[in-house]
């Protein structure tokens, strides 16, 4: 598509999924787009990159088939989901000394495993607990908005859920999806996300990426933008957001250059953007609310061993441990004869841990759950740290719309207002919402 000389220009800071989704929608709408990313690789929290002979990723990610907007975005740039992910039909819960509990998660394509998982695994949750939990979850799903002021712990008390359900279901749910403890997480967020997935039962399945996310998902999206006239720069961190006469006048980069456009989008991480809000607008209620949103650590530990000891390719959920989810990625994502494990640790008591402490904890927990790990040597290890916005009671009120009070300034990011929260789908929806508001604002001026 040839760009007209007088077509509006959008400058976007941050090339994670939110920024890329926004850029894609704008370039398709005829905008000139200039996108800058602080890191040397695209993707933000869905990035992957090379470190010597190993591929590093920003963190373990599950692709849910119910991610409708992300799926559509990838289809539009020529990607089939089967090329991006390998679909899983099961997940595994494990207790120490390799006690396995297998659950089917694809009722349409593997109904027997789904039924077996529900009626079996009674030593993990007994039939009475399952029935109690099912009825409580039905309550939460039907009235998710009514739980905004309650934590998941409050929900458990109201519905008389016992300690076993709390520790084996609610704590892993809160930690795995939101990087929070159930004592912190608003029940509204948990049940809204569950409800959103149940809206699409035909697509209710999970997938494992067939390679590094930048390679299989992000680069094709970036190439689409470039091929339609968009400009993308990596290794270009924004130093400040310039504000003048009730408008944003430019993004000043650390290299001394200033990017100038007609409209501007911050798709920066929340913890970065909070420190860049122009001083002249920080007192506005809109920006004061953003400053009040908390973030929490989202920590990924990646471990390479010289031997395989898990023996399963599904996502594994260890029971009662800070090691909340893990996967041996040497089966599908990074095929290898040895073992490459990506895992997530969430526990407020570990928030101040050093990299060495995180690695020691992860290795010791793997040995506790998989005794064969004692015979495997750790070859390489790495900790990747991010921040996620904390969906605590009252936070829904603080989350901003994508259009700011500054007429030519917009926000994209999973912390902005959309109902998929801290997911890849949430990031995409936020970017698309920002693009839509930009197009609407420009059309109103014509």
pLDDT tens digits, 276-314? 999 999 999 999 999 999 999 999 999 999 999 999 999
Q: Are the C-beta atoms of 420 and 414 separated by less than 8 Å?
A: yes
Dump pLDDT digits (tens) for 210-233. Answer: 999 999 999 999 999 999 999 999
Q: Provide the pLDDT for residue 395.
A: 95
pLDDT over 50 at 3, yes or no: no
Cα dist from 364 to 318, 371, 374, whole Å: 13, 10, 9
Identify the burial level of 351 via C-beta atoms within 10 angstroms of its C-beta, where 0-12 means exposed, 13-18 middle and 19 or more buried: exposed
Dihedral of the CA atoms 400, 413, 154, 159 (nearest 10)?
110
Residue 92 near residue 102, CB atoms below 8 Å = yes
Average pLDDT of the residues in 350-361: 97
Among 49-53, 73-77, 263-267, 434-438, the minimum mean pLDDT is found in 49-53
E strand segments, 37-141: 48-51, 54-57, 63-64, 85-88, 90-95, 99-104
DSSP 218: I
Average pLDDT across the chain, whole number: 94
Tokens of 22: 């926004």
The arithmetic mean of pLDDT across residues 185-195, rounded, is 95
Report whether pLDDT(134) > 80. Answer: yes
pLDDT for the residue numbered 1: 35
Residue-wise pLDDT tens digits, 148-185? 999 999 999 999 999 999 999 999 999 999 999 999 99
State how far the Cα of 329 lies from the Cα of 103, in Å rounded to an integer. Answer: 19
Average pLDDT of the residues in 17-35: 98
* CA atoms of 1 and 387, how far apart (whole Å): 37
**Residue 261: its pLDDT value, please?**
97
Give the separation between CA 350 and CA 278, rounded to whole angstroms.
33
| Torsion over CA: 398, 402, 403, 405 (sign) | positive
Residue 446 has pLDDT above 70, yes or no: no
**DSSP E strands: which ranges in 321-408?**
323-328, 339-345, 378-389
State the pLDDT at residue 439.
96
Q: Which two tokens stand for residue 410?
A: 């917009």
Q: Is the pLDDT of residue 445 over 70?
A: no
Contact criterion met (CB below 8 Å) for 30 and 22? no
Locate 171 and state its tokens.
Answer: 């704590």
- Band (pLDDT 50/70/90 cuts) for residue 200 is confident
Q: What is the pLDDT of residue 374?
A: 97
pLDDT value at residue 2:
41
- What is the greatest pairwise CA distance in the chain? 69
pLDDT of residue 444: 57
Model pTM score: 0.95
Residues 387-435 have pLDDT tens digits of 999 999 999 999 999 999 999 999 999 999 999 999 999 999 999 999 9
pLDDT at 40: 96
Going by pLDDT thresholds of 50, 70 and 90, the confidence category of residue 4 is very low
Query: What confidence tens digit (pLDDT) does each residue in 304-327 have?
Result: 999 999 999 999 999 999 999 999
As a 3-state breakdown, the chain gives helix, strand, coil percent values, each rounded to 5, of: 40, 25, 35
3-state secondary structure of 385: strand
Q: Provide the pLDDT for residue 401.
A: 98
First vs last Cα of the chain: how many Å apart?
A: 22
CA 268 – CA 307 distance, rounded (Å):
39
């Amino acid at each position: 598509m040839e760009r007209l000389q007088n077509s509006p220009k959008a400058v976007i800071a941050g090339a994670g999924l939110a920024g890329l989704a926004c850029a894609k929608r704008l370039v398709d709408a005829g905008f000139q787009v200039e996108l800058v990313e602080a890191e040397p690789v695209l993707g933000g929290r869905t990035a992957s990159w090379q470190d010597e002979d190993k591929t590093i990723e920003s963190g373990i990610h599950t692709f849910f088939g119910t991610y409708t907007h992300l799926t559509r975005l990838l289809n539009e740039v020529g990607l089939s989901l089967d090329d991006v992910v390998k679909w899983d039909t099961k997940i595994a819960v494990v207790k120490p000394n390799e006690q396995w509990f297998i659950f089917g998660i694809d009722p349409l394509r593997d109904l027997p495993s789904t039924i077996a998982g529900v009626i079996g695994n009674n030593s993990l949750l007994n039939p009475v607990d399952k029935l109690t939990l099912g009825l409580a979850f039905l309550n939460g799903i039907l009235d998710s908005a009514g739980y905004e002021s309650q934590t998941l712990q409050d929900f458990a008390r109201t519905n008389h859920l016992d300690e076993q359900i709390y520790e084996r279901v609610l704590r892993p749910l809160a930690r795995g999806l939101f990087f929070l403890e159930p004592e912190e997480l608003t029940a509204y967020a948990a049940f809204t996300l569950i409800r959103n997935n149940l809206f699409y039962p035909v697509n209710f399945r999970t997938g494992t990426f067939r390679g590094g996310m930048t390679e299989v998902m992000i680069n094709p999206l970036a190439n689409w933008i470039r091929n339609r006239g968009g400009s993308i720069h990596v290794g270009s961190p924004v130093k400040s957001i310039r504000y003048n006469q009730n408008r944003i006048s430019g993004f000043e980069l650390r290299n001394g250059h200033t990017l100038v456009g007609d409209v501007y989008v911050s798709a920066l991480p929340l913890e970065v953007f909070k420190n860049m809000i122009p001083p002249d607008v920080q007192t506005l209620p809109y920006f004061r609310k953003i400053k009040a949103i908390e973030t929490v650590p989202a920590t990924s530990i990646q471990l390479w061993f010289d031997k395989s000891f898990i023996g399963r390719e599904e996502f594994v959920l260890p029971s009662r441990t800070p090691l909340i989810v893990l996967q041996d990625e040497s089966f599908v994502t990074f095929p290898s004869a040895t073992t490459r494990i990506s895992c997530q640790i969430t526990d407020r008591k570990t928030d101040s841990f050093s990299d060495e402490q995180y690695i020691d904890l992860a290795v010791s927990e793997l040995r506790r759950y998989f005794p064969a790990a004692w015979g495997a040597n750790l070859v390489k290890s790495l900790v990747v740290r991010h921040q996620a916005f904390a969906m605590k009671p009252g936070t829904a009120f603080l989350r901003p719309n994508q259009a700011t009070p500054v007429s030519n300034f917009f926000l994209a990011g999973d912390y902005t207002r959309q109902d998929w929260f801290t997911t890849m789908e949430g990031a995409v929806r936020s970017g698309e919402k920002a693009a839509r508001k930009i197009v609407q604002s420009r059309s109103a001026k014509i």
